[in-house]
Amino acid sequence: MKLIYFPGFGGSEKSNTFQQILSKYPDSEAIIYDNTDADVAFTQIENQLKNIAADISLIVGQSLGGFWAEHFAIKHNLKLLLVNPSFEPYTSLEKYDIPIQKLEKFKKFKPENRAKSEVAIILSKNDTVVDSTPVLEKYKNFVEFKYVDGDHKFTNYGVLFDEIKNLLSP
């Protein structure tokens, strides 16, 4: 059983969320990718997943990582847990002064379809960083959203672990 974590913008294997996941699931891996160039990020992710995709039990994506997690969960038909996902990074990343040409590249990787495998979504009630409307519209009749107190910086690990446990249960 392998759990794969996609961190958000500027995140890494040192992120608090991934460290919490590692404490419970020590075989987990973080996927590290370029945050500003979608073409480069896609290639980096593909290269990291190519030898482990068959062993993955669950993909967890947070914020920008949710964008990529959904893409690859659909591609590989994997279970998916999204935490405050950014489904429109070409909008949510504008504040970082990334050139519009680079932001536009994200659009070609945006899946039109929903993930067909099991999906859980956790949303913070006071997230002012990422607009949850796109994820709500896409998955509104497909999943039961879990709402937690707090803002975009996720800290409700109890709910996270409950959702991971539910998704990993046979």
Distances (CA, A) of 17 to 23, 94, 110, 115: 10, 24, 24, 23
- Tell me the per-residue pLDDT of 91-133, one tens digit each, with 9 for 90 and over: 999 999 999 999 999 999 999 999 988 999 999 999 999 999 9
Q: Identify the residue whose tokens are 């996270």.
A: 160
Helix, strand, coil share of the chain (percent; to 5): 45, 15, 40
Enclosing domain of residue 33: 2-168
| Nearest CA among 77, 81, 69, 8 for reference residue 42 | 69
- On the question of pLDDT at 170 being above 90, the answer is no
What torsion do the CA atoms of 13, 31, 72, 132 make, to the nearest 10 degrees?
Answer: 30
Q: Identify the bridge partners of residue 59 per DSSP, sorted by sequence position.
A: 4, 80
Instruction: CATH number of the domain at 68, please.
Output: 3.40.50.1820
Count up the domains in the chain and report the number. 1
pLDDT digits 0-9 by tens, 125-147: 999 999 999 999 999 999 999 99
Q: Which position has the token pair 């896409």?
A: 138
Q: Nearest Cα to 118, choosing from 66, 67, 166? A: 166
Amino acid at 77: N
